Amino acid sequence: MLKARMEYGAVYAKVMAMYGKLLKEDDWHRLCECKNITELCAMLRNHKGWSKTLTSLPPSPSAKVLQTAVRKKVYLEHEKLYNFLRIEDKKFLRFTLCRAEYDLILDALREKSAYELFPKSMELTDFIRANSAIDIDALEQSKSFAAVLAAVKGSIFEKPLSELKVNTDTGKPSYWEAGVLLENAYFREIFSYISHKYKGLGRKKLEESVGLEADLLNIVSIVRLLKSFPSSLERADELLIPISARLKPELLSALKTAKGENEAFELLRRSHFGKYLEGIAPSNIENFYYNSMEKFCSKLVKAAEPDIGVPLAYLTLKELECRKLNRVIEAVSLGVDPKSVI
C-alpha cells in the first residue's frame, strides 16, 4: 500500500504540472477578444499549455486544421499519463480509447459531404491506433453498415451495433439511436470493470466520477426531451444511461413528469445537483454538464491522497477545455461572439 501511494505521488506531481498549464479565466477572456483565427493562434502560441501544439501548425491555419489539432491534444495527454501509471491503472485508462472508438463509429455512420477533407482519424495518435480494439482503417473506408460491423468486431460496441434496425432506404441504422446505444454500452462496460475487475487504489472515486457523468448526461437528456421532444419521454428509460450515482429514482421520475424545463430546473435546484446550477439558465442545459464536471474534477485533482481518480479528473478537465476551445475557434471563424458559446 505504501509503495503504491509513493508511485501515485509521482503521478500526482506529473498531473499537477499538467494541470497548471490549463487555460485560466483570464486566458478565456483574451481568447474571446480575438477577432480572427490568426489572432487566436498567436495567443495560444504564447501559452505554455498550447505552444507546442501551435508550433506544429502553419502560422495561420484554417479553423478545421486548428480544431483537429485541439482534439488530438486530449489523446496526447492521455498517452503521457498512461506511461506513468501502474499496470492496473493502465488497464483502466484503456477505456479512454473507447471514447475515441465511439466518435469514430458515429462518424462512419453519419452522412458525409464528398468534399470533406479532414477524416476523424486525423485526430488520432499512433498510440490510439496501436491499442484500439477496432480496425480504424477499415472503419474509415467502410461504405456499408456491414463493413462497419466487421470493423468493430471484438470491441464492446459490436453487440449493441448488431442489434440496431437498419433503414432499408439508407442501408444504415438511425444515427441518433446508434449514439444512444454506443454511449450506454460504454458506461455499462466501464462501470462493470470498476466494480468487478479494477484492483488499484481509488475505486470509490472512479465510481463517483463515472456515476456523476452518467447522472449529468441523463439530466441533460431529460431536459432536452422536455423542451423539444416531450412525446419521447415515454421512451426515456430505454434512452438513458443505465448507471446512476446520485440521480435517485424519485428525482428521475419527477423530472420525467415535469411540465417543462423551468419546473425541471426547480426540482434540480432543490436536489444534490443544485450546487452546480449557479449561473446556468434552463435554456443552456449543456453548460450544466460542463460546469458540474469542471467543478467536481477540479476538486478531485487536488485530492489529499492521490490515486487513479487524480489523472482521470485531469483528463476530464483537459477534454472539457478542448471542447470549449473548439467552440471558441468555431465562433471566431464564423464571426460570432465567442462569449455566447462558453
pLDDT band of 35, cuts 50, 70, 90: very high
pLDDT at 316: 93
In a domain, 311, yes or no: no
Domains contained in the chain, number? 3
Question: Does one domain contain both 123 and 50?
Answer: no
Question: Does one domain contain both 214 and 266?
Answer: yes
Question: Does one domain contain both 81 and 98?
Answer: no
In a domain, 32, yes or no: yes
Amino acid at residue number 339: K
Question: Does one domain contain both 16 and 96?
Answer: no
Length of the chain: 342
In a domain, 193, yes or no: no
How far from 104 is each of 9, 19, 46, 119, 217, CA to CA, in Å?
35, 28, 32, 9, 20
Question: Does one domain contain both 261 and 228?
Answer: yes
Q: pLDDT per residue over 42-51, tens digit each?
A: 999 999 999 9
pLDDT band of 21, cuts 50, 70, 90: very high
Question: Does one domain contain both 268 and 226?
Answer: yes
Q: Is 166 helix (H, G, I), strand (E, B) or coil?
A: strand
Q: pLDDT per residue over 288-323, tens digit each?
A: 888 899 999 998 888 767 788 889 999 999 999 999
| Mean pLDDT in residue range 22-45 | 94
Residue 118 CB coordination number (10 Å): 12
Distance (Å, whole) CA 79 – CA 71: 14
Q: Is 85 helix (H, G, I), strand (E, B) or coil?
A: coil
Distance (Å, whole) CA 262 – CA 239: 22
Of the candidates 94, 92, 88, the residue with the CA atom closest to the CA atom of residue 127: 94
Distance (Å, whole) CA 77 – CA 314: 9
Question: Does one domain contain both 169 and 123?
Answer: yes
pLDDT at 1 over 60: no
pLDDT at 114 over 60: no
Question: Does one domain contain both 109 and 55?
Answer: no
Distance (Å, whole) CA 289 – CA 24: 19
Of the candidates 289, 246, 281, the residue with the CA atom closest to the CA atom of residue 264: 281
Distance (Å, whole) CA 50 – CA 21: 8
Q: Please give the sequence-ordered ranges of beta strands (E in DSSP) within the chain, or none if there are none.
A: none
pLDDT at 328: 95
pLDDT at 41 over 90: yes
| Mean pLDDT in residue range 125-138 | 90
Distance (Å, whole) CA 98 – CA 157: 9
Last residue in a domain, options 136, 159, 174:
174
Of the candidates 57, 31, 59, the residue with the CA atom closest to the CA atom of residue 325: 31
Positive or negative, the CA dihedral 320, 235, 182, 202 is positive
Last residue in a domain, options 174, 189, 215:
174
Q: Is 33 helix (H, G, I), strand (E, B) or coil?
A: coil
End-to-end C-alpha distance for the chain, whole angstroms: 42
pLDDT at 266 over 80: yes
In a domain, 182, yes or no: no
pLDDT at 118: 66
Residue spans of alpha helices (H) in 270-308: 285-300
Question: Does one domain contain both 99 and 163?
Answer: yes
Report which DSSP code applies to 18: H
pLDDT band of 5, cuts 50, 70, 90: low
Range of the domain at 334: 1-86+319-342
Angle of the 261-269 helix axis to the 249-256 helix axis, nearest 10 = 160
pLDDT at 115: 54
Position of cell 501515485? 8
